[in-house]
Amino acid sequence: MNKKFIKKGIYPYIVLFLIMFGILYLFSNANVKINTLTYDSFMEEINKGEVKEIVIIPRTRANVYEIKGKLKSYDENESFVLKVPLSNEVVSKIFQAEEEYNFKVDTKVDPESGTFLLFLVNILPMLLLIVLAFAFIRKQVGSASSSMDFGKSRAKLSLNNTKVTFDDVAGLTEEKEEVSELIDFLKNPKRFQRMGARIPKGVLLVGPPGTGKTLLARAVAGEASVPFYYISGSDFVELFVGVGASRVRDMFKQAKQNAPCLIFIDEIDAVGRQRGTGLGGGHDEREQTLNQLLTEMDGFGTNEGIIIIAATNRPDVLDPALLRPGRFDRQITVNLPDAKGREEILAVHARGKNFAKDVKLNNIAKRTVGFSGADLENLLNEAALLAVRRNKDYITMEEIDEAHDRVLMGPAKKTKKYTESEKRMVAYHEAGHVVLGLKLNDANIVQKVTIIPRSYAGGYALMLPKEERYTATKRELLERIAGLLGGRVAEEIVFNEITTGAHNDFEKATKIARAMVTEYGMSSLGPVQFEHQESSVFLGRDYNKIRNFSNKVADQIDEEIRKIISEQYEVAKKIIKDNMDLLELIAETLIERETLTKEQIEYLAKHGKMPDEDDDNENNENLEKLTVVELRNIAKEKNIAGYLKMNKKELIEKLKENNEEEQSN
């Protein structure tokens, strides 16, 4: 018990105890009249026949009988009491009088002979009442103190018990370099002061969800070894106007007392949205909170040694005053990782997991284009769960493949059965995508195709670009559209019928075509941007668009989009008709096997059949017959490092390993 409680908190309880004791005493004696009689007067009343009832209680320790009772002349709440020596003569006289005058006599056991019973009857009720009263008062005092803390900061101080460092943050090399200056400043501020440099007061981390913004902020705190306050933007905004501003003031007050320190505000768009905009006017509480935050960051006061890191995936809705130099001086964009970054992230999340020898993280990274760090962590976790479910000791590529499909499309609907005609229709639809991917140089390559239904799709083809690039040419976009239309074209040519299975393909193709016309200037309308997205602060990201054109131009835009789609539809139709044998081969193989990988598709297109173990043995035997020069040429084509320094035996072993790896992938 602390001294503060002893000084301030014990007095109300003492007063309460005295009040409760007095109330109990008054209630226990209220309206009760007890008359004390002498032994002679008692015997006189008995002989008169005035006694109505008697209770005899032996008091062994006091060596007396306690006699209680009522006279016929007494009121309801009136009684008498007397004490007589502990002797059999007194009791005998009372029982003789009972037979003569017919009044009620009762005897009780000495209550002092049962201490527990005495406690249970006389003391326990009072203790329970006191405990309940104490609990009630304590609750009321706690509520009062919590109401006084309504404007206190909700920021929590991290004790870094589970320290996160830059070693735990993978795939963000440039981003870590940007925030490393903050760590250097917190550790050695004089180095910057000598150069006259001012460290950024605020750093805004911007990027899609799951890319590691919060993890990066935790790593900065772990590396700097300074106090680290973290809070969500929604913790500031309350129902009552002024509470959020009060919490901002209190947060900076605490931070100043522990400077140098870091403050991390997650999802700052909850409090930092533009002021005075949106339907229905502004939001007074949020705007006052934002005003206070702006003043604290760069107002008349000074915040030396306090650095704020904030994260959001909606930078477009933030107030411009929040983003100006002096507040959030620096914006760091945390993008989706590239292939190298994904491999590094996979290596971090692979710690503690048991993988089979054929599992290569670089191969997984190549197949997970567009995955964020959170997606990759989820992928490996799903694979581990599948391995446990299948009672395996290691995670194999089979679990990785299944986990990849589950993350993208959901679990397979194994109990859902196709009709024979529906299965053939889906197989030819997916085969159409595959043929276009094989025959068009710049179309997306089909990495995997399956006719096993998942989620709402009857089958799907995983289509990825050959290379990860920041830009795309007009030809690449057109061929992507053609590749997306390949499924519908195959249905129309083979079955002379069309299905609803291509609705998602049309959605993607139309989106690309519209962007080519209205944003990229890749149409006969010229290099003009006709529309762009405008995010409404309160209505959401894609509610409306800025349209800088007339109705006549709108008709021309629609015509250009229709023209692009129609032309690529004809391109796809020509390619499918010219490669009907390949279409049928892939479709029939899909009907038989249900799933094909990129390597199997390429082998099928080249050899007209699926690879088997006999072919692998034959290929390995053929390697033995080749010369060193021929083996080195093959190794060069397969990009095997250090092939020039290998002898024939080493080259054969390396090529066999490469063949097995390609087959497993």
Alpha-carbon distance of 250 to 136, in angstroms, equals: 30
Residue closest to 41 by CA, chosen among 75, 77, 76, 69: 69
Give the DSSP H or E segment for 156. strand 156-158
Provide the b/e sequence for 175-187 (b: ≥16 CB within 10 Å).
bbebbeebbebbe
From the candidates 382, 402, 430, 479, give the one annotated as an active-site residue. 430
DSSP classification of residue 62? T
CA 598 to chain centre: 34
Alpha-carbon distance of 143 to 140, in angstroms, equals: 5
Query: Which amino acid, residue 352?
Result: G
β-sheet bridge partners, residue 333: 206
Tokens of 281: 């006017």
Query: Which amino acid, residue 412?
Result: A
Residue 447 in contact with residue 432, Cβ under 8 Å?
Answer: no
59: helix, strand or coil: strand
Known active-site residue 560: no
Residue 566 in contact with residue 548, Cβ under 8 Å?
Answer: no
Surface-to-core class of residue 648, CB atoms within 10 Å of its CB (0-12 exposed, 13-18 middle, 19+ buried): middle
- Sorted by sequence, the CB contacts under 8 Å of residue 92 that are 6+ apart come out as none
Max Cα distance, the chain (Å): 140
Alpha-carbon distance of 104 to 54, in angstroms, equals: 6
The CA-based dihedral angle spanning residues 483, 485, 490, 491, taken in that order and rounded to the nearest 10 degrees: 150
Provide the b/e sequence for 419-435 (b: ≥16 CB within 10 Å).
eeeebbbbbbbbbbbbb
Alpha helix (H) ranges present in 232-372? Answer: 243-257, 284-297, 320-323, 339-349, 361-366
Residue 9's CB is within 10 A of a number of other CB atoms, namely: 14
CA 589 to chain centre: 41
- Sorted by sequence, the CB contacts under 8 Å of residue 415 that are 6+ apart come out as none
Alpha-carbon distance of 533 to 480, in angstroms, equals: 23
DSSP secondary structure string, 89-135?
A: HHHHHHHHHHHHH--EEEE---GGG-HHHHIIIIIHHHHHHHHHHHH
Active site residues: 430
